[in-house]
Amino acid sequence: MQTGKNSIFSRWQNWLQTGVAAILLVSLSIGLSAGTLLPSGNAITDGQSILRYALPIENKPVRDLQNSLEDISNHLRGKQWSTINGDVKKAAVVVKTKQADILKGVVADKQTQAQTLLTEIQANVEALALATEAKDKPQVQALRAEALAKIGTLEASMVKGFPYAVPAEYDNLPQLKGRATIALKTTKGDINLVVDGYNAPVTAGNFVDLVNRGFYNDLAFTRAENDYVLQIGDPPGDEVGFIDPTTKKYRAVPLEVMVKGDKEPMYGITMEDAGRFREEPVLPFSSYGALAMARPENDPNGGSSQFFFFLFEPELTPAGRNLLDGRYTVFGYVTAGQEVLGQLKANDKIVSAKVIEGADLLKA
């Protein structure tokens, strides 16, 4: 992928028929053979769910509670009410009997808030049981979403500081030591993003720093491929990235990928080149609205200011080995305004970008 004026990917293929299903294959100029098949399995396609699972915490009861409620979405389409009822019962048992174990994982100054959240989650789960019994799908969806949002807040209160040291060679770059929420106003509507510094601190830090500088304000989208990708970040003039006014040099950001099971990200190398193409990143491309750093096709460490939203139908982009995961840094997800992404075209603009939460976590 180039960060020039007109390209992200040099080429791509539409569909590859495989027995009874069509699976998207994206063929990159630096990529795997176009004959490589994507894996089967149930990828998580909701960005907020991915963000919950991506938190660096180890508390089995709260993950069990989350898993039970997350699983409901897999069965609502088919109206598998008996399975949904089983999920709700599992959640009810955890929230009633494991509160003390859950609270053990919460940092000291957030214990009171966590206890309140648990009380509210328990009430949500009880209401969810009634909605499931009534087979009220809209109410089940609403109550599940409300409970999971609170579980996400509860899990965030379990993070005890930043979990690793970023390599010293990147100390000259901004770093985000946690998460930040950014509000974008565009010519077609408003979008909210959450960028994840726990799993991509350098990339997320660079982005938040540029937002704070007003870099993206009044900047035009340079490429919009229907149902594929939406790119922005190319400044006016000959430069294709951010020129630091202090150093007068192009700010280059390395490829940064946290692989599941690792304690810190890999830098400067794709998962394929590292021989890890069968593994999965913590932040995958399986969600519509995934936010990723653009870069020159032959330079993993050449990203700067250009980024793109991934717009492909998530069911067709399972996590792991999908020819995008591990090749580009995913550093966040759209959490509100997904419908706006599909309306934006080349020459539409970001009117303004503002950090509305987490600005204090930036180490510039």
The confidence score (pLDDT) of residue 316 equals 61
Percent of the chain past pLDDT 70, that is, above it, reads 86
Maximal CA-CA distance, the chain? 64
Helices (H), the chain: 47-53, 60-70, 73-76, 81-97, 99-104, 111-133, 137-156, 201-212, 338-341
Tens of pLDDT, residues 209-268: 999 999 999 999 999 887 788 999 999 999 999 999 999 999 999 999 999 999 999 999
Tell me what the mean pLDDT of segment 160-178 comes to: 96
The confidence score (pLDDT) of residue 98 equals 97
Instruction: Give the separation between CA 243 and CA 235, rounded to whole angstroms.
Output: 10
- pLDDT band at 313; cut points 50, 70, 90: low
Q: Is the pLDDT of residue 39 over 60?
A: no
| Cβ-proximal residues to 80 (8 Å cutoff; 6+ apart), any chain | none
Instruction: Give the separation between CA 48 and CA 95, rounded to whole angstroms.
Output: 21
Tens of pLDDT, residues 67-83: 999 999 989 988 899 99
- pLDDT band at 297; cut points 50, 70, 90: confident
Better-predicted residue by pLDDT, 321 or 281 = 281
**What is the DSSP-derived secondary structure letter of residue 265?**
-
* pTM above threshold 0.85: yes
Q: Is the pLDDT of residue 196 over 70?
A: yes
Helix (H) or strand (E) holding 186: strand 179-186
State the average pLDDT for the chain.
87
Residue 235, phi-psi category: left (phi > 0), alpha (psi -120 to 50), beta (remainder): beta
Residue 45 — φ and ψ, nearest 5°?
-110, 0
The confidence score (pLDDT) of residue 28 equals 28
The confidence score (pLDDT) of residue 118 equals 98
Tens of pLDDT, residues 80-106: 999 999 999 999 999 999 999 999 999
Question: Closest Cα partner for 344 from 312, 304, 309?
Answer: 309
